[in-house]
Structure 1
Amino acid sequence: MYKFKIDRRLATLGLCLAIAGCNIPKVMQRTENHSVPQSYNNTQDSTNTGQQQWHDFFKDPYLADLIDTALKNNQELMITLQEMVIAQNDIRLRKGALFPSVRLGGGAGLEKVGRYTSQGAGDASTDIKPGKPVPDWLPDQKIAAYAEWEVDIWKKLRNAKKAAVSRYLSTVEGKNFVLTNLIAEVANTYYELLALDNQLAIVKQNIELQKNALEIVKVQKQAARTTELAVQKFQAEVLNSQSLEYDIVQNISETENRINFLLGRYPQPIPRDKSNFLELLPASVQSGIPAQLLANRPDIKQAEQSLIAAKLDVKVARAEFYPSLNISASVGLQAFNPAYLVKLPESLLASLVGDLAGPLINRNAIKAEYFSANARQLQAVYNYERTVLNAYLEVYNQVSKIDNLGKSYDLKSQQVAALTRSISIANDLFSSARADYFEVLMTQRDALESKLELIETKKQQFNAVVNIYRGLGGGWK
């Protein structure tokens, strides 16, 4: 009868815990949107440049060597690799929680209880040997193994392990995203360096032309055909161009060191071919279809894995409302005399305990964590949608930019050709006194600016090609 009452009480307690666990607060849910537009420019060609490996896309051998060095030495990439190691260890930690933990320990002690206590009175009347009572100071030696195990009845621990796996996969995609950005940054900086080299060459050529014009003006002043004002104006123009030359030299030095930083090394010259930058042709690119971004872009896949982990975190937090079953056990040897430790079964100790416990009242902390986990899940949904949107817009903008830069470059080439011819015309007219010095100066200045702008446009063309390669998810494969 007494045993039946105990079983009934345990059943009642279990039922109360289960009912308390079922009373879980409602939270807002949101399903992520995976849809993207059908195309970038009304074409359905699925050929995608982003699927090319970087050493097949970048043909310049100097650039290829720089990228290869960056992939070996870049500190940001090394930091990201360590994040992967940390995530791997977290998986091992979560996986270990699924299995019982076992500890082995031993100890020794000395105990004296009061004589006028239940234990002391019992000890006083107990013989450890015939005619020899238990001593007042009683030693105690123990060697035992202890085990604890939380039975994963609600899949809380398994979901936590799955979340850790998703976070590890997220760090893998994060590493791939760093690779893509690193390759693109090295390439963009390299083309910027080539553009500066050619701008410096143009400025030096222009300085020589201006010096020749200055000498002509000086001769004409001696012949009283012009004034000192013209001489000073031409002199000022030469000085301005020389100042511009040093500005470009400084920009070259800083750009070289920017590449050295990406390569994880101290300042040193960057090998490159400085000639014929304007004759180089950017690689042709095919953007494919937007749906391919979901599989190619590492940042989208990283956001997707983070979203999966956040959803699993909500399940883990939800399981905290349910009762948990913990089993603990121990087995070992215990005696007041070391000589008795090996006497079995008298020195054997063993225990097996099962606990079923769950939150009943004052569950505010569990609710707070549950609401926070759901809020982080919603953040992950919005971050995923934002990442997809940003990826599409990046590629769309670069597709449009490549087209418009091509048209702009053709027009600027014609402008440079026209202004280059106008320099000779202006000089001839000035020599025959049919044009003043101001027209010659403005013509030279306009020609210089147009040549520098043409080089800048060429650099932007290369940058647009590199950026669309990055935008399509190229470089990490």
Structure 2
Amino acid sequence: MMLKQALLPIMVAAALSACAVGPDYQRPQLEMPQAAANVAPVASDWWRSFEDPVLDAMIDESLRYNRDLVQAAARVEEAAAAAGVARAGLLPQVSASAGSGRSQTSAYSSGGGALLDSRQAGLTASWELDLWGKLRREREAALADVSASERSLAALRLSLGSQVAKSYFQLASYDAQLASARATLQSREESLQLRQKRFNGGMTSELELRQAEAEAASARATVPQLAQAVTQTEHALAVLLGRSPRDIAANLGRGKALSALAEPEQIPSGLPSDLLLRRADVAAAEASLIAANARIGVARAAYFPSISLSAGIGSASTALTDLFSGPAQTWNFAANLTAPIFNAGRIAAGVDAANARQKQALAVYEKTVQQAFADTLDAMSAVSTTRATEQAQLQQLASLREALRLARLRYDNGYSSYLDVLDAERGVFQVEQALSSARLARLSAVVSLYAALGGGWQAG
């Protein structure tokens, strides 16, 4: 009978600890658009589809050394350590202690100035009973934080790869525009020299000479602007790669021209049915929502009593030789119960705050889902429109180059004015610049589509 009475509190505590206060997480129900089920997942090394070894090396370098990734990886380690702390709270805590001391009493006391030695050693254990699931909710939230930080790291890796690819393509675009501007400048300076000779020989008017000077000056002003854009893009790309301050100013290597890059074989044309499982940012937002939901239970558990158990065993003696003998043994056991009675609404305010944070996390999750579908639709549209734009400008450039050839031929034979040649040259240069930008827009749209579809990340 005495044994049953002794075990009764433990049995009650075990039964109560089987439940946890606070809401259990359920994924929010969202209205989803129609999605195609036959869209293949994006490969984890999606950038290799462009078949440019220099681009491959740059993205690999950024994934190893970029400082934002280093910081995000450290956040994962921090969250994992916090989860370990939360797990430790569920288990008993044991500590050891030992001590030695000597004291002397007053000569006028009953001890008569005696010297007293004391020795003690012992083990102490303490355990907070998780009756209402507070500690388990804390661990649930901590594990969700780990998941959120891991998925945020994956999302950052995808974003970094996309930024490196787009910056690399931007650099190649500026290189092409700069090469076109330099070629145009050389052509216009040669034309200016020819106009100067003809003017000196009385074979052309001053108007043609001044027009040639103006066009040469215009090209001369464009070259340094594009050269500066190339330099700034190199520096921005070097930062993305995680290079040291000493290496940022070093020129980056060059790979294929934009026109020589491979066209990805299969570009998805529809929404995947499992888009939410493909995107790390959506999974990170949901993990944060799970953590916020669990912390509501942590806040609510403060309404209920908490019970902690502590016990100790050891020995104490005035002589070291007797410290571990049977008569020197000591022990103690205690159970403490604390329950809130009046706290001026502090617990209620804590619950309200936890509920508010859960609502914020829910709104972030819903917006992330919305943005995921918007990004995908925008990227699919951009891929088709930028390809059409590039094709149209290719045809326009071919026509303008032919028109320039004919204009020069007509001018050399006296059938048209030099103004026709200048207009044709100006048109060719402008479309060459626009074509480079169109190629950049198409490749950037492909990168954006890879990123919108999750970029190779799959929920585990």
**Counterpart for residue 386 of structure 2:** 405
**Counterpart for residue 361 of structure 2:** 380
**Counterpart for residue 4 of structure 1:** none
Q: 1:239 to 1:256 in 2, by over 3 A?
A: same
Q: Which runs of 4+ in 1 moved over 4 A?
A: 108-114, 133-140, 336-340
Give, in angstroms, the shift of residue 249 of structure 1.
2.1
**Counterpart for residue 95 of structure 1:** 87
Name the CA distance, whole Å, in 1 between partners of 2:137 and 2:238: 44
**Counterpart for residue 32 of structure 1:** 28
The count of residues paired between Structure 1 and Structure 2 equals 436
TM-score, normalised with respect to structure 2 = 0.85
The question of whether the paired residues in 2 share the 8 Å contact of 1:179 and 1:475 is answered with no
2:229 corresponds to which of 251, 257, 263: 251
**Counterpart for residue 211 of structure 1:** 189
TM-score, normalised with respect to structure 1 = 0.83
The question of whether the paired residues in 2 share the 8 Å contact of 1:48 and 1:287 is answered with no
**Counterpart for residue 300 of structure 1:** 282
Query: Percentage identity across aligned positions?
Result: 27
Name the CA distance, whole Å, in 1 between partners of 2:40 and 2:225: 40
Name the CA distance, whole Å, in 1 between partners of 2:408 and 2:184: 14
The question of whether the paired residues in 1 share the 8 Å contact of 2:173 and 2:440 is answered with yes
In structure 1, give the amino acid aligned to 2:268. Answer: Q
Give, in angstroms, the shift of residue 55 of structure 1.
5.6
**Counterpart for residue 262 of structure 1:** 240
Cα-to-partner distance string for 1:316-373 (whole Å, 9 max, x where unaligned): 111111101111111111234545534422x222111111211111252222222111
**Counterpart for residue 426 of structure 1:** 407
Q: 1:473 to 1:208 in 2, by over 3 A?
A: same
Give, in angstroms, the shift of residue 287 of structure 1.
4.7
Equivalence map 1:17-416=2 (5 Å): 32-39=28-35, 44=36, 46-51=38-43, 53-54=45-46, 56-108=48-100, 140-265=118-243, 266-267=247-248, 268-275=250-257, 277-283=258-264, 284-338=266-320, 340-345=322-327, 347-416=328-397
The question of whether the paired residues in 1 share the 8 Å contact of 2:53 and 2:255 is answered with no
Give, in angstroms, the shift of residue 435 of structure 1.
3.4
Give, in angstroms, the shift of residue 416 of structure 1.
1.3
Name the CA distance, whole Å, in 2 between partners of 1:475 and 1:246: 40
In structure 2, give the amino acid aligned to 1:329. Answer: A
Give, in angstroms, the shift of residue 113 of structure 1.
10
Name the CA distance, whole Å, in 2 between partners of 1:213 and 1:232: 12
**Counterpart for residue 128 of structure 1:** none
Give, in angstroms, the shift of residue 386 of structure 1.
0.6
The question of whether the paired residues in 2 share the 8 Å contact of 1:181 and 1:470 is answered with yes
Structure 1 stretch displaced more, 374-383 or 228-237: 228-237
Name the CA distance, whole Å, in 1 between partners of 2:358 and 2:142: 15
Give, in angstroms, the shift of residue 288 of structure 1.
4.6
Give, in angstroms, the shift of residue 235 of structure 1.
1.6
Name the CA distance, whole Å, in 2 between partners of 1:204 and 1:274: 19
Give, in angstroms, the shift of residue 155 of structure 1.
1.3
In structure 2, give the amino acid aligned to 1:192. Answer: Q
Give, in angstroms, the shift of residue 223 of structure 1.
4.3
Instruction: Please give the secondary structure, in 1, of the residue aligned with 2:252.
Output: coil
The question of whether the paired residues in 1 share the 8 Å contact of 2:52 and 2:255 is answered with no
Name the CA distance, whole Å, in 2 between partners of 1:423 and 1:49: 47
The question of whether the paired residues in 2 share the 8 Å contact of 1:49 and 1:286 is answered with no
Name the CA distance, whole Å, in 2 between partners of 1:58 and 1:49: 17
The question of whether the paired residues in 2 share the 8 Å contact of 1:328 and 1:353 is answered with yes
Give, in angstroms, the shift of residue 376 of structure 1.
1.0
RMSD: 3.1
Unaligned runs of 5+ in 2: none
Instruction: Please give the secondary structure, in 2, of the residue aligned with 1:395.
Output: helix
In structure 1, give the amino acid aligned to 2:95. Answer: R
Instruction: Please give the secondary structure, in 1, of the residue aligned with 2:303.
Output: coil
In structure 2, give the amino acid aligned to 1:416. Answer: L
Name the CA distance, whole Å, in 2 between partners of 1:49 and 1:369: 43
Structure 1 stretch displaced more, 457-466 or 277-286: 277-286
Give, in angstroms, the shift of residue 446 of structure 1.
2.0
Name the CA distance, whole Å, in 2 between partners of 1:375 and 1:279: 53
**Counterpart for residue 446 of structure 1:** 427
Give, in angstroms, the shift of residue 59 of structure 1.
2.1
Give, in angstroms, the shift of residue 65 of structure 1.
1.7
Instruction: Check if 1:471 corresponds to 2:449.
Output: no
Cα-to-partner distance string for 1:385-438 (whole Å, 9 max, x where unaligned): 011111111111111111111221222122212221222233234334443333
Instruction: Please give the secondary structure, in 1, of the residue aligned with 2:96.
Output: strand
Unaligned runs of 5+ in 1: 1-6, 19-23, 115-119, 125-132
Name the CA distance, whole Å, in 2 between partners of 1:394 and 1:236: 45
